Amino acid sequence: MDADVVRAVNDLTTRWARTLPSGGNTVVSGLGVWPLVALLATAADEPGRSELAAAAGVDASRAGQDAIRLVEAIEGSADLHGALGVWVSEQLKLAESFDSVMPAPLVGLLTGNVSVDKAKLDAWAAEHTDDLIREMPVALNPDVMLVLASALMLRTTWVRPFTEQVRRVSGGPWAGSWHWLERTDGDLDAVRRYDDLTVVTVRGDADVDVLLGIGSADVLAGLLAAAARPDDGVPGSELILQDQPGPGLRIGQTTSARPDLKVALPSFSIEVEHDLLESPAEVFGLGAVASSPGLFSALSPTPLQVGEARQKVLARFFATGFEAAAVTAMAMTRAAMVTSHERRLEVVFDQPFAFAAVLRESRLPIVAGWVARPTEPA
């Protein structure tokens, strides 16, 4: 897998993580967003092209191909699966360059019948996430001319499963009873300390690991940085010799013949939907293409803009493994045409007025009258 693309996805994810509100459960997939940003970068005109390329972290001329190759590389994983899809309205006139920007195998049709199109896109989301996510996160309407989507699905089983028990926490923000997971591991170096951050690696049985981070300051961004440097930090085989080994760590006792590592955490299941257009423009590079119509001449002579960009994502950590899924979609709409207005006269009958009914050709009056005040109460 291209190291530059991996770094670019990590950078986008880190930027996004730093904008997330604190205090609540959440989960994001920068990997789900990145291919769509890259495809749009190749398709866009300036100034959107530069903005999107900066967010994608790769050259705009090759960003689309990088996106395709990334998803193909994901499909080579045992635990992780990915897909890209593009759907185009039958009413949209395509530019001659469309096929060079949006590879034909990805492209399907939108009929304009919202119920038919929604069923089709929802089925695609369910198929590519093994039913973990059953709906496309963007809404469809007759103005939607093009939809880009990515889907990711991850399932892994722990090499060493956890035991599960109900544990009561007596004080603090986690006061209450929770399903708690515990296990011991002979590999002390499954834990590492990076300055004020402690990272535990939970190995899956194929090609996916899950990292757990605890510490102070910007923990999620720090964990993403640590993920890019797996061999850095102070390993557990050294930390066990220290009286204050690191955040979340303490020295205990074991009956094993050799030192070991005990890990305990609550099981969790988080499902979130994100509106990508609510993030600062520099996170995803969508500022210009969402506000200025007509920046996609490589796709169509019809002025288009990104009208909606959303992600639905979930993550579950349990005793025997981990699963996650994300569907990210961007809906491009036909931009409203700017119309000019002429002056007009307006008459309002807001005082007593007369009326008459006449035959059209002869002008023969049929009835005539006067309205002194309205007669039908509101």
What is the C-alpha to C-alpha distance for residues 321 and 213, in angstroms, rounded to an integer? 17
Strands 321-334 and 144-157: antiparallel
pTM above 0.85, yes or no: yes
CA distance 82 to 69: 11
- In this prediction, residue 322 carries a pLDDT of 93
CB count within 10 Å of CB 296 equals: 26
Q: How many CA atoms lie within 13 A of 133 on its CB side?
A: 30
Q: What is the pLDDT of residues 319-374, one digit of tens each?
A: 999 999 999 999 999 875 444 456 666 676 667 755 556 556 655 555 455 566 66
Taking CA atoms, 214 is separated from 108, 178, 322, in Å, by 44, 19, 19
Contact in structure between 226 and 232 (CB atoms under 8 Å): yes
Q: Which domains does the chain have, with CATH numbers?
A: 3-157+268-334 (3.30.497.10), 187-259 (no CATH)
Q: What is the pLDDT of residues 106-124, one digit of tens each?
A: 999 999 999 999 999 999 9
Q: Which amino acid is at 298?
A: A
Element (H, E) at 72: helix 60-74
Residue 105: which residues within 8 A CB-CB, separation 6 or more? Answer: none
| Nearest-angstrom CA–CA distance, 374 and 378 | 10
Evaluate if residue 173 carries a pLDDT over 90: no
Distance of CA 277 to the CA centre of its chain: 10
Distance (Å, whole) CA 58 – CA 241: 44
